Amino acid sequence: MECLDIRRCVRYNNLTLSGKSFKPLKYEVRELPKEAAIWMIIALYIAAMVWVGVQGARKTRTLTDFVVGGRRAGPWVSAFAYGTTYFSAVLFIGYAGSSGFRFGLWAVLVGLSNALIGALLAWKLLAPKTRDVTRRLKIKTMPQMFEKRYQSPRMKTFAALLIFIFMVPYSASVYSGLSYLCEIALGIRYEWAMLAIAAVAAAYLIAGGYIASLRADLIQGIVMIGGVLLMVGFVLASPEVGGFSVGMERLTGIMEEAGILSLDGAGTAQLIGLCLLTSVGTWGMPQMIQKFYGVADQKAIRAGTVISTAFCAIISVCAYFIGSLTRLFFTETPAGGTDQMIPIILDRTLPVVLLGVVLVLVLSASVSTLSGITLSACSAISMDLIAARRKQEDKNKTLRQTRVLCLVFIVLSFLIAVFKTPILTLMSFSWGTISGAFLAPYFLGLWWKRMNRTGAWAGMLVGAAVSLVLAAASGFDSGSAALFGVIAMASSFAACLIATPIGCKLGGAFAQVPPEFFDPDFSLQTGEGKQASAVSEQAAAGSQNGARIRAKN
């Protein structure tokens, strides 16, 4: 007789029934294979994401719903969406392992900068103004913001093309971290892991758009927090570390022997470059800025600032802290490179069920980032390139095209990652190129009223060109990508500041600054604004008359 439950198989040989004696009870416990237990956890996650997609599809009726969630997102979902889009498998497997082995405990500073600059300062400086402007001017994408701010349809087209071209190879990077973990933990080919990421992201994003993405990000964010805290606890408890105090003592000794207890000039420059690119660089990434478009109100922004900062602090600091402990497990880089360090450590230290949870953590980070990138890139193409060429606006057709483009984008990113095409070499430089092109025109456009079209064009072109020229000159050396990205962003700011006064001297369209972008009451001075104002005054007068009548009665 055999009895099977979810974690073990017990075979009973003899029983004792009705007071009769039988042979002593014997049983044999057979554990399910590690892969089976992990696959069951993954199956639960996939089922939850499919449910989210179905629920999101029921509430997604318009293009605005699909792209910005109807602009009614609360603080928790907005903050978690920002954080989960921020961190992908590249953080847990790539940056955390390589940076931790390179810098030791200094790598934790990267995590702190992500929380304080990439989250707190971004929500303080960018979120309120971005939400206000995009709501008033009905902006749904970053290229549309550039068009409205600088009165340049060509700039919108250029920005949309730049987003799509460089977001495709960047999106391929989200697959890499999970592939290493799956090969080590499950012993399966990485293509299946990447297919799972693509399928889950496509399932809920195409069905429910931004609304489904918000709900999925909330669930995935909770999984990420729980998973990363468990990772820290079990890694610290491992024999190689021996607890926090012992581990820190061992690690500082190893860092001193390796000569990284005090960083030299080159090491300090690389660390600062990594901090700036992964923190300030996010300010110019369309998929990050898009999270501010759908926030419900300023109260939600204030709460979201606190929640997002706390989320990013937990995830990034814990990830880089685990990365800094790699020197306690490895005396030299494994044959497969630094990307294999974290998966090997987790396979050694975590029990089977928790390894499944961590695998879902990395899967969640990858899926949420991929969905954010896909939505921002495809909405830019469908609305700013395709729909802009139509004589008559057809929002339903644009919605259908956006869904199709999302599928095409995910398939392209999957194929690039699987077949390792030459395009994949641009992956490390995509972040720096996009941030180099967009950050200065976006940030200065929000805060500097004199900033004009001339300065914006100069910043975009110089930032993108500097990033690509430096990448090509280095032979696309990914180790220098962070430094090149910082140089590109700084060059873009310098170009904006130099070219803007030139535009002012040229005058006309070169110096034009739309007053409605900065003045919320400017629309009242236009014909449409006066008409809306008159309607509101009539409504107010009607309500006052009604109140008088009720008072008399």
Question: Both tokens of residue 12?
Answer: 């009973």
Token pair 């600091």 in the structure block, residue:
317
The kind and range of the H/E element at 9 are strand 8-12
Q: Show Cβ contacts of residue 400 under 8 Å, excluding neighbours closer than 6 positions.
A: none
Contact 77, 210 (CB under 8 A): no
Instruction: Using alpha carbons, select from 182, 114, 230 the residue that is nearest to residue 366.
Output: 182
Of 283, 278, 299, the C-alpha closest to 446 is: 283
Which two three-digit tokens encode residue 514? 């739309």
Contacts 24+ apart (CB under 8 A), 249-253: 250/328, 251/104, 251/105, 251/324, 251/325, 251/327, 251/328, 252/105
Rounded to the nearest 5 percent, the helix, strand and coil shares of the chain are 80, 5, 15
The answer to whether 156 and 143 are in contact (CB under 8 A) is yes
Give residue 34's pLDDT: 60
The secondary element (H helix, E strand) that includes residue 207 is: helix 190-237
Q: How far is CA 441 from CA 89, 155, 225, 248, in A?
A: 29, 11, 34, 44
Alpha carbon distance 216, 200 (integer Å): 10
Burial 449-476, CB ≥16 within 10 A → b, else e: eebbbbbbbbbbebbbbbbbebbeeeeb
Could you give the C-alpha distances from 408 to 157, 198, 202, 371, 415, in angstroms and in order?
Answer: 20, 11, 10, 13, 11
Q: How remote is the C-alpha of 393 from its chain's centroid?
A: 31
Per DSSP, 6 falls in state S
Beta-bridged to residue 349, according to DSSP, are none
pLDDT (tens, 9 = 90+) of the chain, 553 residues, equals 344 343 344 444 444 444 444 444 444 444 555 667 777 888 888 888 888 888 888 888 888 888 888 888 889 999 999 998 888 777 777 778 888 888 889 999 999 999 999 999 999 999 999 999 999 999 999 999 999 999 999 999 999 999 988 888 778 777 766 666 676 666 667 777 788 888 888 888 888 888 888 888 888 899 889 889 988 999 999 998 989 999 999 999 998 888 888 888 788 888 888 888 889 988 999 989 989 998 988 899 999 999 999 999 999 999 999 999 988 988 888 776 777 788 888 888 888 778 778 888 878 888 888 888 888 888 888 888 887 777 677 788 888 899 999 999 999 888 888 876 555 456 667 888 999 999 999 999 999 999 999 999 999 999 999 999 998 888 877 667 778 888 999 999 999 999 999 988 887 767 777 888 887 776 544 443 444 334 334 434 444 444 444 444 4
Q: Which two tokens stand for residue 8?
A: 């073990």
Total residues found in the chain within this entry: 553
Q: Is 445 helix (H, G, I), strand (E, B) or coil?
A: helix
Rounded distance between C-alpha atoms, residue 168 and residue 159, angstroms: 14
Of 499, 471, 505, which Cα lies nearest the Cα of 485? Answer: 471
3-state secondary structure of 3: strand
3-state secondary structure of 73: strand
Beta bridge partners of 4: 9
Under DSSP, the state recorded for 295 is B
CA dihedral 89, 93, 99, 101 (to 10 degrees): 170
Residue reference for tokens 């749904």: 140
Strand order in the sheet with 2-4: 2-4, 8-12, 27-31
Nearest 5°: the CA angle 174, 283, 465 is 80
Distance from C-alpha of 136 to C-alpha of 529, rounded to nearest angstrom: 12
Going by their DSSP bridges, the two strands 8-12 and 27-31 should be labelled as: antiparallel
Residue 99: phi and psi, rounded to 5, are -70, -40
Q: Is 12 helix (H, G, I), strand (E, B) or coil?
A: strand
Of 330, 356, 363, whose CA–CA distance to 185 is shortest?
356
- Say if CB 60 and CB 209 are below 8 A apart: yes
Here the tokens at position 421 are 């095409």
- Choose among 85, 76, 72, 71: nearest CA to 307: 76
